[in-house]
Structure 1
Amino acid sequence: MADSTSKSELRNTWESAAPGWAKWEHVFATSLSGATDALIDMAGIRPGMRVLDLACGAGSQSIQAAMRVGAGGKVVASDISGTMLENVRRNAARAGLQNIETLERAADELDKTQAPFDAAICRLGLMLVPSPRATLEAVRHALKPGARFAALVFTTPGKNPFMAQPMTILLRHAGKSPPAPGQPGVFALGGEGVLEGLMTDSGLGDVKTQVVRAQLALPSASDAVQLMQEAAGAYRAVVADLDDGARLRAWNDVYQCLKQFEIGDGFRTELELIIGSGAKPR
């Protein structure tokens, strides 16, 4: 029951964030384009492959993968939120792509009747699922022998002040504690050796990691706060139970914090992420 309840809450979190995620998807697509290329590379994705994109969100990385596999390949974009998947279909149509299909599933509930995949990716989703290990085991079963899975996650709070400091502020206003070790969270898999160990323990082999960086550029700190308020499901969820006044005070403190990243005529900050990649044993 607890597991089904947590998945229901997760689905509600991302359903409510889906319109905002779609609105800001162009920012994520631009900021993370290079990191996504590295993610696709580490998954070994090539033309003609059938690829799984897990926890795909609005799917800008699905589109990058679909362009990599070409007309002879296919990307299955999977997410727990049906509204997110509507955005994927719209974005794919806008891009003129016909090699993306969608699958509404929790990350650890992949349909075992699906044909096995040549590769799989997950961008900024694995650290937020209720059980990363169960998810990785499901992915391993969904892959062909020798096929690779690659995941992109944030590293540590100290290397990501734009992500860490607002979360600390929101948790304080909500009277909540940071996630305990092993619990879902923005930085749950970013510590040294954590992602690599998780992949190895989940039965993946030839595990490799690579640290990558991304630049986030917005017009102002006000835009940055609006992005978090509208699109960042994990942040929205922290203050979801506060009344309107308390929630407004929390976000105003976040705005005051983020003004530190306003430089010259805009808002600039750097994100540090790590890619982990492993192969299903042959």
Structure 2
Amino acid sequence: MKDFDAEAYKLSTQVQWDTVAEHWNAWGSLLDRWLGPSTEALLDMCDVQTGSRVLHVAGGSGQDAMQSARRVGNTGHVLSTDFSEELTRLANIQFADAGVSQAHAVTMDGENISVDGPLFDAVISRVGLIFFPDQERSMNSQIDALKSGGTVGALVYATPQECRFFSDPVGIIRKHANLPPPEPGMPGPFSLGAPGVIESLFERTGLTDIQIQKIDAPVTLPSAKDCLRFEQESFGALHQMLGGLDDVAKQKAWEAVEKALEAFETDQGFAGPCTMIAASGRKP
């Protein structure tokens, strides 16, 4: 990762998420439909149940923490953390609107977790660990927040070939913007998706009883145009990649993305290919 400035990367990523937070949250019903089932599978793997204490890292606007809150009930506790103040604010609004008193959200860096009170039964990261510059540091911080015998769970994208709803647009935008491919070891959507990579990370950080499950998670929408709008509104990194282009060149890139996404339209609507990996490991 030559010349990679982790702090500058984290700051720019934080700004991206603060900027798109409202849009991301507005797509909540899609997020639940797309990632909800794989999140439930991960919560099963981590034995989240009535009375559990659950910490969510990179919890965004709270959709995955809400799933935990329903499981743990009034006798449990759910803490959702994210480094974006806007996402954290929206998560707390969502919890309050739903009357979920057992969940709340705070702003926190996922590489430097600091929590008061009893340790947690489970620490969950949904599509968050992949974006940390120092994934081992985050894992160690998560493990420190766990009780002995507690579980860490991560939901990550599989390989680019298995997640073409996103990898195809990224490839097209990278080509239009004349950007080089990411260097090995860089944070990003597919940084933990290759065979054996997340298992190795869990092993290096001392977890045991490691379990891996691949889950089909297509992005279903009425049309490719709807998926284009979702990605334009919610994935700030794509706009950052296009930052060096003028408006005409940007429009050409987005048109190429839409054309590529049209390949995933069916008689029943748009079904963008996506496979998630659910991984869990236990603290000795």
TM-score w.r.t. the length of structure 2 is: 0.94
- Say whether residues 1:84 and 2:87 are aligned partners: yes
Alpha-carbon RMSD across the aligned residues, in angstroms, is 1.6
Which residue number in structure 2 is paired with residue 117 of structure 1? 120
SS in 2 for 1:206: strand
* Deviation readout 1:247-281 (Å, 9 max, x if unpaired): 22211110011011111252123311111111111
SS in 2 for 1:230: helix
Q: CA deviation at 1:2?
A: 3.6
Structure 2 distance, partners of 1:37, 1:199, is 20
1:17 maps to a residue whose letter is: V
SS in 1 for 2:104: strand
- Say whether residues 1:100 and 2:103 are aligned partners: yes
Structure 2 distance, partners of 1:74, 1:236, is 36
Asked if the contact 1:215–1:271 (Cα under 8 Å) also holds between the matched residues in 2, the reply is yes
Q: Specify every segment of 5 or more residues in structure 2 that has no aligned partner in the other structure, as ranges.
A: none
Asked if the contact 2:50–2:75 (Cα under 8 Å) also holds between the matched residues in 1, the reply is yes
Which residue number in structure 2 is paired with residue 252 of structure 1? 255
SS in 2 for 1:71: helix
Distance 1:113 1:73, change over 3 A: closer
Structure 2 distance, partners of 1:203, 1:96, is 38
Which residue number in structure 2 is paired with residue 235 of structure 1? 238
Q: CA deviation at 1:58?
A: 1.6
Asked if the contact 1:114–1:142 (Cα under 8 Å) also holds between the matched residues in 2, the reply is no
Which residue number in structure 1 is paired with residue 43 of structure 2? 40
Q: CA deviation at 1:229?
A: 0.6
Which residue number in structure 1 is paired with residue 265 of structure 2? 262
Structure 1 distance, partners of 2:48, 2:268, is 39
- Say whether residues 1:195 and 2:198 are aligned partners: yes
Which residue number in structure 2 is paired with residue 171 of structure 1? 174
Structure 2 distance, partners of 1:40, 1:144, is 16
Which residue number in structure 2 is paired with residue 74 of structure 1? 77
Distance 1:212 1:100, change over 3 A: same
* Deviation readout 1:135-157 (Å, 9 max, x if unpaired): 10110111111100100101111
TM-score w.r.t. the length of structure 1 is: 0.95
Which residue number in structure 2 is paired with residue 208 of structure 1? 211
1:222 maps to a residue whose letter is: K
Asked if the contact 1:82–1:104 (Cα under 8 Å) also holds between the matched residues in 2, the reply is yes
2:262 maps to a residue whose letter is: K
* Count of aligned pairs between the two proteins: 281
SS in 2 for 1:102: strand
Asked if the contact 1:24–1:227 (Cα under 8 Å) also holds between the matched residues in 2, the reply is yes
Q: CA deviation at 1:35?
A: 0.5
Structure 2 distance, partners of 1:85, 1:110, is 15
Asked if the contact 2:261–2:272 (Cα under 8 Å) also holds between the matched residues in 1, the reply is no
Distance 1:73 1:113, change over 3 A: closer
1:186 maps to a residue whose letter is: P
Q: Specify every segment of 5 or more residues in structure 1 that has no aligned partner in the other structure, as ranges.
A: none
Identity %: 34
Q: CA deviation at 1:49?
A: 1.3
SS in 2 for 1:32: helix
SS in 1 for 2:203: helix
Structure 2 distance, partners of 1:3, 1:216, is 31
Distance 1:156 1:177, change over 3 A: same
Asked if the contact 1:17–1:231 (Cα under 8 Å) also holds between the matched residues in 2, the reply is yes
Structure 2 distance, partners of 1:147, 1:243, is 50
Mean Cα deviation higher: 108-117 or 146-155: 108-117
Which residue number in structure 2 is paired with residue 130 of structure 1? 133
Structure 2 distance, partners of 1:6, 1:160, is 24
Which residue number in structure 2 is paired with residue 62 of structure 1? 65
Structure 1 distance, partners of 2:40, 2:277, is 13
1:40 maps to a residue whose letter is: L
Alignment equivalent of 2:152, drawn from 149, 153, 168: 149
SS in 1 for 2:111: coil
Asked if the contact 2:95–2:104 (Cα under 8 Å) also holds between the matched residues in 1, the reply is no
Structure 1 distance, partners of 2:169, 2:79, is 33
1:24 maps to a residue whose letter is: W
- Say whether residues 1:16 and 2:23 are aligned partners: no
